[in-house]
Every structure is written in structure tokens, then in C-alpha cells.
Structure 1
Amino acid sequence: MRVSVVICAYTEQRWDDVHAAVASVRAQRHAPEEIIVVVDHNPTLHARLKSALPDATVVENAEGRGLSGGKNTGVALARGDVVAFLDDDAVAAPGWLAAFAAHYGDPRVAGVGGLTLPLWPGSTPAGELVRAPVPESTGTRPRWFPEEFDWTVGCTYRGLETGAVRNLMGGNASFRREAFPLAGGFDSGIGRTFSGRPLGCEETEFCIRLRQRSPESELVYDDRAVIWHRVPPVRARFAYFRERCYAEGLSKALVTASVGTGDGLASERAHALVTLPRGALRGLRDGATGDPGGLGRAGAIGVGLAWTAWGYGVGVATARRAKARS
């Protein structure tokens, strides 16, 4: 199984992170077919990386600014049977690609995603991960930060179970190459575009669209495909947590406008109605037994749910007004 790995980069501030990501792909037990680094409309960074990474294919984003365009550019160049995506501020465990490849013997499997663990502030620096991609330290999680909301920092959240899933998380995912012409690629109107808000969901919309067009296809989550994703200090703060939840609501409104509310909110309903209440009760119980952080986690779950719902409501209302004007 030939696997092309696409890494999207955009800023010199992640110079060491990008090198650590590439080093972790080089160290895979299942050797990659190729490593493609797509630079998002940053000619200086493109020139530097092209010189520094002679064994990788370093190209400029051929589409509009943003993560969707970068991924589409990488897919268009990929030669592999499978295209895997790794965030530019993440490192993959040595068995990452092998865990992905093991599933593609089943022709029904169109995509496989893996377990993304956070590298909190104080974790192994990116410069050290260039030499040894497996981190010795994963830093310190803020005591108030609930695991049910680890998706706000691009990581796997509590409540996600292995096996068939609706969608994969974009920074740790792989798809058969033929899935892209079938689904139509990533939508440039959804996801990170550096507009000032931490938007997302381009991979969610893509996965739902793929399964709507190919209902027999399966997407699989395998927690043996491990990566570690860096959480900078600003993203470990409560202010970012709230902003990210609000932006996720806005993004979900765009997703439901594209694929419908039934598919677009199926997983979110289960998470909100089952996983989050359990998490809040767990936090209250922890607080009652002497862990003050438990009360913070319970409160953060309530705030996170409220801000996400608020963002979704604003997004839906905005779309309706735009439709009415047109």
C-alpha cells in the first residue's frame, strides 16, 4: 500500500514544528511513498523549506488561501494509493502509517483516522523532536480543561470510540486517492482561511459528502495510529477555548447548509446529549471529592456547549439572511 503524506504549512513561526513533522514521517515503519509539503501563499517560507527539505516535494498552494486549498493541492500531486494528512505542528508515532495501511485491505474502507494526543505547554520542544520524534514529555494539561473538548485544540476527545465513524479529524487522517474525485475535494468555503476566527470542519463536510455519494464506503477510527499535536500556550487559555467553541458553531452551520442537518449534526447530538452530561457530572463528583479542577471542568463543559450552540445559531441566521437577500 503506497501512502503519500501531505503536510500543510503557512508560517515561519512553526519552522521547527514542520521539520519535526517531516522527521516523524521519515521514521515510519511503513515507509511513505512521498512527503508533500504545501506552503500556503508564503513565498519566503516556500523557498526556505524547498532548500531545507530536499527529500520532500515542497510546493505552493495552487488554490485560494487556506487549509482546504492546501490539502487539495497536495492531493492533486500525490502518487500514492492512499493520501494521509499530518498537521504541521504534530509528530507521528513510528507505527502511524502502518496502522492506516492495515485497514485498506478491505475495499469498503475509504478512509482511516487515528488518535491525536495533545502536547501541552511544557512538552518536549519541537527542536528536540526533529532528532527523536516520540516526545518524552507531553506537558501539563490545564486543570479546568475537559477531555470532552480536546477537539478545540485539534485532538481526539473523550467519547470517540474506535471503529466506524461519521468523519475523521483532518490533522490525522488518510483516504484512498479515488475518494477525492468522488467527493469533489475539500470545500474552500469551509475551514481555516486565516480570517481571524479559528474555523474548521472542512474534513467533516468532506467525509459526510463522501459517504452521501458512496454510502457503501466506511470511515474508520483506529487509536493505534497515534500522533502528538502541539498546543501553544495561547490555545491552552480559557479565552481561546470559548472562541474556538463559538467558531465551531459557525463552522457547523456551514456544514449543515452543505450536507443537511441530519448528517451534519448526527454525531454532535449524541456528544451533547450523552458524553457532555456525563463529563459534567464527573467534574462535579471530582470537585466534591477534593479536586477543585473538577468544578472548573464541569463549568467549562457548560460554557463550551453554550458557546458552540450560540455560534451555530448565529451561523444559521446569517445564512438565512444571505439567502433571503439573494
Structure 2
Amino acid sequence: MSAVPDGRTGAPAVSVVICVYTEDRWGDILAAVASVRDQSYPALETLLVVDHNPALLRRLAKSYGDDGAGAETGAQRVRVLANAGPRGLSAGRNTGVAAASGEVIAFLDDDAVAERDWLLHFAEGYADPRVMAVGGRTQPVWASRRRPAWFPEEFDWVVGCSYRGLPPGRVAVRNVLGGNASFRKSGLEAVGGFASGIGRDGQRLPLGGEETELCIRLTRALPEAVLIVDDRSVIHHRVPPARERFSYFRTRAYAEGLSKALVARSVGAREGLASERRYTTRVLPAGVARGLRDALLGRPGGAGRAGAIVAGVAAAAGGYALGSLRARRGGGGSFAVATLEAPTNDEAPPDGGAAACEGAGG
């Protein structure tokens, strides 16, 4: 991590992209859009990208405007689009980027709400023309109303949130976290957008890592690029009951290991695992020590947190080992950098539209 350079003033237009999947999250989607509409720094537009769900597409289009262009203007403008690429988060984001009119694209999870100054602090980061991405801080909102006693803060990334070990304040980083992040559109266009086949695609395993791969590819293509995190840009991310369970914790850690193997295959282990080395050699041992200390002092959950950290590391290491083995044998799958192409109509397109991309840097 390094200090963030001082920049120059500017006021970029920001488009907000929210990828949505299921009517089960209808209330969450409405809350996410409402939080964007309430920003102190108004968004140019909000784009809801529906991932191959025609019923949800029709329902959202009816709520926010039937013509696909949005029924309102300014910060109230909401556009409803079908994912123009293969099923999954990466292609959905690429669809939103291609359709967006803003200079900066901000991404918000469909089960999160943003604080009022979320976009304001993002926009401030782009005063420096070298800044190509600005991330923020994501806080968990537990369905049980309190953190499970055994759940270590060092593993909050398991539920899509900022975790213990991230540097505070406004700092330069290797990569931002995608559920609460923004990018210059020109930077995304320069590298072809997010790669499909790494992150979530609606299948059983909760994969990840697409933001890491993109950010490394971005700084390789644009060596002067600066990526920062500003922890004043805060969102609150809902954690459903199923994700408070140890079974999900273990599965998500294992899936992250598989994803990191794909990232390392793409960009090389040196860059692909640079931040992870510090995390596993410094942050996690300190977390185990805190848990054991709390257990000795009779504090609730201490032993559970220490044990969960050890189990999480083992699961992630197992996933990484299996993913690396598959890659060496040629059966580890490939990923693709999809064309940044917006849909031409409001019907869900068939899967496809990505060009295969293998090797370092995509």
C-alpha cells in the first residue's frame, strides 16, 4: 500500500450499474436504487442489468419505464437492460459499461444500499487524471442482527464486505473490491472489461476474483494508472441467513482458492497473489492469536474465530491447489474477456458473445 497522490479538481459524470438476478431480491433492488437517487453527488443515471431473467426484466421495465431508456431524467433516471453476454456478473457489468453515458462507472451490489456521500467521495478521487479506479468500504448487515460469534472479521470478504487487514483512509491499492467500486470508463474500454469465467455465473460455487484480474490487467495496460480505496465511500451489504453458516464460509473460501488459481494463471502468481501473501503471513496469524487470547480470557467466540481462520485458510489452499493442478493438466477451464456490447433490445439474449482469452494479461 502507498500514499495517494494529490490530484486536480474535476467533476466527472457518474453512471451507476447494478446487476440483478432474481425477483427474490425485489425489495433489495428497490432499496439499492433509492439509495443512488438520494446521493449528495447526483448520478447521471442508474443502469439495472438483468441477468437472463425475462420475468424480472419485464417487472423492472414496468416499474422504471417501459421503453428501456428510463421514465425520468437526471439522478432519477433508471434504465433497465438485459445482459448482452453470457450468464454471470462479469458479462452483466460489461453490458452496463457499454451502455453507460458517464465518464465514471460505479458498481453497487443489488443487495446493498449506499450512504449519501458514496458517489461524492468516488468523484473526488478522479480529480487526479491518473486515477483509474476508486473503491470504498462495505459493511455487513447481518440477517441475525449481529455478527456470529465465531465469524472472524479477517474473513468478511466471504460475505462480500471489507475485512480486517485492509488499510484505513485513502490509499493506493493493487485492486478494488467489485461490490463497491468505480472505474473510469476509458480504462475499462482500454482492457476490454471484466473477464467471464472467473467470477460468479449463477452456478453452485460462489466464485470470485474477477476484480483482481481486471485491476492487474488495467495497470499493465496503463502503467501510470493509480487505483485507490477511500473508506469514506460506504455501502451496507445485506448478509442473508444462509451466508452466516459455517458451511457457506467453507465453500466460499474453497471457491476463492479456485478463483485465485485462475487469476494466477492469467497474470502470474507474483502479481496475482502479492496482496494475499501479506494477508496470509501477517493478518491471519494475528487474527488467530487474538482469537486464542480471547478464548483464554473467557470471551465468547474466541476459539471459534481462531478455528474458522485455520479452516478458511485450509479450504482456500485446497481450492487453489486443485485449480492449479487442473490448469497444469489443461483441464482447468478458460476465461474470456467479453466485448463491451450493450443489448439492442429488451429481450434476454442467448448465452455467448465472448472471445476466448488465455495467458497472462488476457
State the TM bucket, normalised to the shorter chain.
over 0.9
Q: For 2:64, give the aligned amino acid.
A: L
Superposed CA deviations along residues 273-319 of structure 1, whole A, max 9, x for unmatched, are 00000010011111111113011000000000110010000000011
Q: 1:27 to 1:302 in 2, by over 3 A?
A: same
Instruction: Call closer, same or farther: CA 1:12–1:280 in 2, change over 3 Å.
Output: same
Q: Does the 8 A contact of 2:36 with 2:43 survive in 1?
A: yes
Partner of residue 99 from structure 2, selected from 38, 53, 77? 77
Contact 2:326 2:332 in 1 (8 A): no
Counterpart among 141, 148, 153 of residue 147 in structure 1: 153
Give the counterpart letter for 1:153 in structure 2. V
Equivalent residue for 1:221, pick from 229, 239, 242: 229
Q: 1 or 2 for the larger relative contact order (CA 8 Å, sep ≥6)?
A: 2
Q: Distance in 2 between matches of 1:68 and 1:271?
A: 25
Alignment equivalent of 1:247, drawn from 252, 255, 264: 255
What corresponds to 1:160 in structure 2?
Answer: 166
* TM-score, structure 1 normalization: 0.93
Report the AA paired with residue 152 of structure 1.
Answer: V
TM-score (norm: length of structure 2): 0.84
Where in structure 2 are the equivalents of 1:287-298 lying within 5 Å?
287-298=295-306
TM-fit CA distance, 1:53: 2.1
Q: What does residue 29 of structure 1 align with?
A: 40
CA distance in 2, matches of 1:284, 1:278: 10
Deviation at 1:169, TM superposition (A): 0.5
The one-letter amino acid paired with 2:307 is G
- Partner SS, residue 312 of structure 1: helix
- Sequence identity of aligned pairs in percent? 59
Gaps of 5+ in 1: 123-138
Q: Which moved more, 1:295-304 or 1:50-59?
A: 50-59
Greater share of helix residues, 1 or 2? Answer: 1
Q: Which residue does the alignment assign to 2:21?
A: 10
Cα offsets for 1:145-173 (capped at 9, x unmatched): 00000000000000001401110110100
Structure 1: distance between partners of 2:300 and 2:81: 49
Given candidates 284, 288, 293, the residue that maps to 2:292 is: 284
In structure 2, distance between residues paired with 1:184 and 1:295: 45
Report the secondary structure of 1:110's partner residue.
strand
Q: Matches of 2:23 and 2:221 in 1, distance apart? A: 38
- What's the offset of the Cα at 1:184? 1.6
Q: Which residue of 2 aligns with 1:40?
A: 51
Question: Which residue matches 1:97?
Answer: 119
Cα displacement (A) at 1:187 = 0.5
- 2:49·2:95 contact (CA, 8 Å) conserved in 1? yes
Deviation at 1:215, TM superposition (A): 1.7
Residue 324 of structure 1 deviates from its aligned partner by: 10
Letter of the structure 2 residue corresponding to residue 49 of structure 1: L
Asked whether the equivalents of residues 122 and 135 of structure 2 are also in contact (C-alpha less than 8 Å), the reply is yes
- 1:205 counterpart letter in structure 2: E
CA-to-aligned-CA distance 1:54-78 (integer Å, 9 cap, x gap) = 3410000000000000000000011
Query: Which residue in 2 is equivalent to 1:125?
Result: none
The answer as to 2:132 corresponding to 1:110 is yes
Q: Secondary structure at the match of 2:32?
A: helix
Distance across 1 between alignment mates of 2:314 and 2:302: 19
Partner Cα separation in structure 1 for residue 293 and residue 93 of structure 2: 43
3-state DSSP class of the match of 2:49? strand
